[in-house]
């Protein structure tokens, strides 16, 4: 869910790695989450043919859920439209969104918990970073230091304009 397309094939940027452990009967017996902060600055500055985290494009193509969160075209978001790679050859963002939700069903994540990654509270935190009118541009320090952007007015941050 948190992969992205990179300029170098076979590489990716993960947000989190979730390991789900099963017992002999196929029931979930445990889990571990590992956070990876690889190339954080590349989330805010991407170039062709790279693509930001797949989940953003999937959510924009998710139909009713996209409507619910006032999302549609990834071209409307600064941090998705820096690259012109919106689609992956042979991959449907809408189908991949459905696959992600099905995978959550299979491992027993309730429908209420499934929407947590896409809840209005989280979208309001994530999408302002994608909406150029709501953030100050990142200041480049050096190639070894991650750029940082600030939300201009956190109290008025919205999922879309």
149 within some domain: yes
Query: So what's the pLDDT on residue 17?
Result: 74
pTM over 0.75: no
- Please indicate, yes or no, if residue 24 is contained in any of the structural domains: no
For residue 145, the domain's CATH number is 1.10.10.820
Cβ count within 10 A of residue 68:
15
How many domains are there within the chain?
A: 1
Confidence band of 159 (pLDDT split at 50, 70, 90):
very low
- 113 cis-preceded (ω within 30 degrees of 0): no
- Model confidence pLDDT, tens digit, residues 85-136: 999 999 999 999 999 999 989 988 888 777 765 554 454 455 554 455 555 6
- Look at 59 and 99; give whichever has higher pLDDT: 99
Within a domain: 136 = yes
pLDDT confidence of residue 93: 94
Q: How many helices (H) and strands (E) does the chain have?
A: 7, 2
Does residue 54 lie within any of the structural domains?
yes
pLDDT confidence of residue 113: 79
Per-residue confidence (pLDDT) for residue 157, from 0 to 100: 47
* Local confidence band at 66 (pLDDT 50, 70, 90 cut-offs): confident
pLDDT of residue 1: 45
Of the two residues 3 and 43, the one the predictor is more confident about is 43
Confidence of residue 50 (pLDDT cuts 50, 70, 90): confident
Give the pLDDT of residue 124.
45
More confident residue, 145 or 89: 89
Give domain status of residue 4, yes or no.
no
SS3 of 78-125: the string is HHHHCCCCCCECCECHHHHHHHHHHHHHHCCCCHHHHCHHHCHHHHHH
Residue with the larger pLDDT of the pair 46 and 44: 46
Question: Is 9 among the domain residues?
Answer: no
Look up the domain containing 64 and give its range.
41-156
The answer to the question of residue 61 being in a domain is yes
Asked, for residue 129, whether it belongs to a domain, the answer is yes
């Amino acid at each position: 869910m948190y992969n992205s397309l990179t300029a170098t094939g076979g590489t990716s940027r993960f947000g989190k790695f979730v390991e789900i452990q099963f017992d002999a009967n196929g029931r979930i017996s445990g889990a571990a989450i590992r956070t990876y902060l690889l190339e954080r600055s590349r989330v805010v500055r991407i170039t062709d043919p790279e693509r930001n985290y797949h989940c953003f494009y999937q959510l924009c193509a998710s139909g009713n859920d996209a409507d619910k969160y006032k999302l549609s075209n990834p071209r409307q978001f600064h941090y998705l439209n820096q690259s012109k790679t919106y689609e992956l050859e042979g991959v449907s963002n809408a189908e991949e969104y459905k696959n992600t939700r099905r995978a959550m069903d299979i491992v027993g994540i309730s429908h209420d918990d499934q929407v947590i990654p896409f809840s209005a509270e989280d979208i309001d935190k994530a999408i302002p970073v994608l909406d150029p009118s709501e953030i100050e541009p990142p200041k480049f320090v050096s190639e070894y230091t991650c750029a940082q952007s600030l939300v201009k007015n956190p109290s008025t941050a919205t999922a879309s304009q």
